[in-house]
């Protein structure tokens, strides 16, 4: 039996809290996208540019974060990036105009991108010391943080708190929790990059392309649910703003439950059953939300999407590490790069599609701007879920 020290337990709790903080802050500001649009007078396409700016900041920062971890260790980088992230998010509510907002959003993207890399590096080290697979529990904490964040956003809205005070309150709470969490991070030592040997570059074999496509479909779905469901609730279903975060809470709460029990389900049903049934469940969920745009149906549908997608990425990454002829790290790196880029850039594309579609509607239709477009935008997600069902059912080999 593995003996684990109290300090290692505190480290695991600290890293788990860092994942939860990331989800908490993210859910709070994305839940207020309807208010952000009102505040700056922007449409779905312009909101897409905001999300794109954040995505670009994160993608630029990630390779640099890997280099800095080698030079100075992940602990220092995690501390700096987490604090910058939680302090910079409230700035979104206090910019003088839309262009100033576009200028500050990349800072948030850079900090969250570096935070993702550094905190995940810590989780890998903790898992090694723990002596058994626990990575899914960390990602469950992110989903749990999103669930709490969406719920707290609904509470702040019901209290009449405007965007600025709301985000400042979340930032203060997150800062206090971060101080506790970060002080227990591992003091990892910087060192030279290990020689990767053969197969050190990205290898896009047929298996990797299929896994990457499955990752892309899944993460576009995750990103769309996180970013666009609050607007879908207010603009399409006609819900008041106080109910808008409930769709995101339904998605993230279901994803948390799916990940929390994912290892148990895979041991009982097998990875293939989990992946195929999950893809089908996500397709059913997003289709319900699109075809029956009622608040209760949409909330339930987005919950089905969260439950369905919850364990696909962990299985896909596991399969990527087993591709014949490739080192495990190369397979995972290739697939995760495709997936994470999709997670970041998928939601902005949905914004552009929804605005483009709305602009082509005949004049005189009794629709709010962006209403039909948002349904078409989520239709892109439904199409990707259908592709995911086909890939996982007929083409993707999944082994336990």
Q: For the residues of 172-188, what is the DSSP string, one character each?
A: HHHHHHHHHHHTTS--P
Which of 225, 220, 393 shows the shortest CA–CA distance to 305? 225
Cα 400 to Cα 396: distance, rounded to the nearest angstrom: 13
- Token pair, residue 159, equals 């209290």
Give pLDDT, residue 400: 62
pLDDT tens, the chain, 400 aa long: 566 788 999 999 999 999 999 999 999 998 898 899 999 999 878 888 898 888 888 878 877 877 787 788 889 999 999 999 999 999 999 999 999 999 999 999 999 888 988 888 888 788 888 887 777 788 889 889 988 998 899 899 999 999 999 999 999 999 999 999 999 999 876 554 444 444 444 456 788 888 888 988 998 898 888 888 888 998 889 899 888 889 988 998 999 999 888 777 877 888 888 888 999 999 999 999 999 999 999 999 999 999 999 988 878 877 876 777 765 556 666 776 677 777 667 777 777 777 665 555 444 444 444 456 678 878 888 898 899 888 888 877 766 6
Q: What angle do CA 87, 90, 91 make, to 5 degrees?
A: 95
Return the closest-CA partner of residue 224 out of 39, 41, 387, 33. Answer: 33
- pLDDT score recorded for residue 195: 42
- What's residue 2's pLDDT? 61
Predicted local confidence at residue 224, as pLDDT: 86
d(Cα 333, Cα 302) in Å, to the nearest integer?
Answer: 29
DSSP line for 379-390: HHHHHHHHHHHH
What does the CA dihedral 122, 128, 134, 139 come to, rounded to 10 degrees? 20
How much is the pLDDT for 326? Answer: 67
Q: Does domain 1-185 have CATH number 1.20.1250.20?
A: yes
- Spatial contact of 33 and 93, defined as CB atoms under 8 Å apart: no
> Given this model, what pLDDT does residue 270 score?
82
- What span, in angstroms and rounded, lies between the C-alpha atoms of 98 and 58? 20
Q: Are the folds of 1-185 and 202-359+370-400 the same?
A: yes
Domain boundaries, the chain: 1-185, 202-359+370-400
Instruction: Output the pLDDT for position 358.
Output: 53
CB 217 within 8 A of CB 387: yes
**Which CATH entry fits the domain spanning 202-359+370-400: 3.40.50.300, 3.30.9.10, 1.20.1250.20, 3.10.20.600?**
1.20.1250.20
pLDDT at residue 10, rounded to an integer: 94
Per-state percent for the chain, helix, strand, coil, to nearest 5: 80, 0, 20
Q: Is the pTM above the cut of 0.85?
A: no
Predicted local distance difference test score (pLDDT) of residue 191: 53
Judge whether 330 and 199 are in contact, CB under 8 Å.
yes
């Amino acid at each position: 039996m593995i003996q684990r020290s109290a300090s290692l337990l505190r480290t695991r709790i600290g890293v788990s809290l860092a994942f939860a903080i990331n989800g908490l802050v993210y859910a709070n500001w994305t839940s207020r996208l309807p208010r952000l649009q009102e505040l700056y007078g922007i449409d779905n396409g312009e909101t897409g540019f905001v999300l794109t700016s954040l995505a670009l900041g994160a993608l630029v920062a990630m390779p640099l974060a890997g280099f800095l971890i080698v030079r100075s260790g992940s602990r220092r980088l995690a501390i700096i990036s987490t604090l910058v992230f939680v302090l910079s998010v409230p700035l979104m509510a206090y910019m003088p105009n839309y262009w100033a907002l576009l200028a500050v959003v990349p800072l948030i993207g850079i900090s969250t991108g570096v935070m993702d890399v550094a905190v995940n590096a810590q989780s890998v080290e903790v898992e090694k010391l723990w002596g058994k697979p626990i990575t899914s529990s960390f990602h469950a904490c992110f989903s749990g943080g999103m669930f709490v964040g969406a719920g707290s956003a609904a509470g702040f809205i019901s209290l009449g708190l405007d965007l600025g005070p709301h985000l400042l309150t979340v930032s203060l709470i997150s800062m206090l929790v971060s101080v506790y969490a970060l002080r227990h991070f591992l003091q990892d030592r910087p060192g030279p990059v290990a020689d990767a040997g053969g197969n050190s570059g990205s290898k896009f074999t047929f298996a990797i392309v299929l896994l990457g496509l499955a990752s892309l479909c899944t993460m576009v779905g995750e990103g769309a649910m996180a970013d666009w469901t609050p607007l879908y609730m207010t603009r399409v279903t006609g819900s008041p703003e106080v109910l808008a975060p409930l769709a995101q809470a339904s998605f993230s709460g279901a994803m948390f439950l799916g990940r929390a029990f994912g290892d148990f389900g895979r041991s009982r049903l097998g990875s293939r059953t989990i992946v195929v049934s999950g893809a089908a469940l996500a397709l059913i969920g997003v289709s319900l939300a699109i075809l029956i745009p009622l608040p209760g149906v949409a909330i339930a549908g987005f919950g089905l999407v969260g439950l369905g997608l919850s364990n696909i990425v962990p299985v896909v990454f596991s399969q990527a590490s087993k591709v014949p002829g490739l080192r495990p790290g190369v397979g995972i790196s290739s697939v995760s790069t495709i997936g994470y880029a999709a997670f970041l850039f998928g939601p902005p594309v949905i914004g552009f599609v929804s605005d483009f579609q709305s602009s082509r509607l005949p004049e005189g239709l009794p629709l709010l701007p962006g209403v039909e477009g948002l349904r078409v935008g989520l239709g892109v997600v439904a199409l990707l879920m259908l592709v995911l069902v086909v890939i996982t059912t007929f083409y993707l080999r999944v082994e336990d």
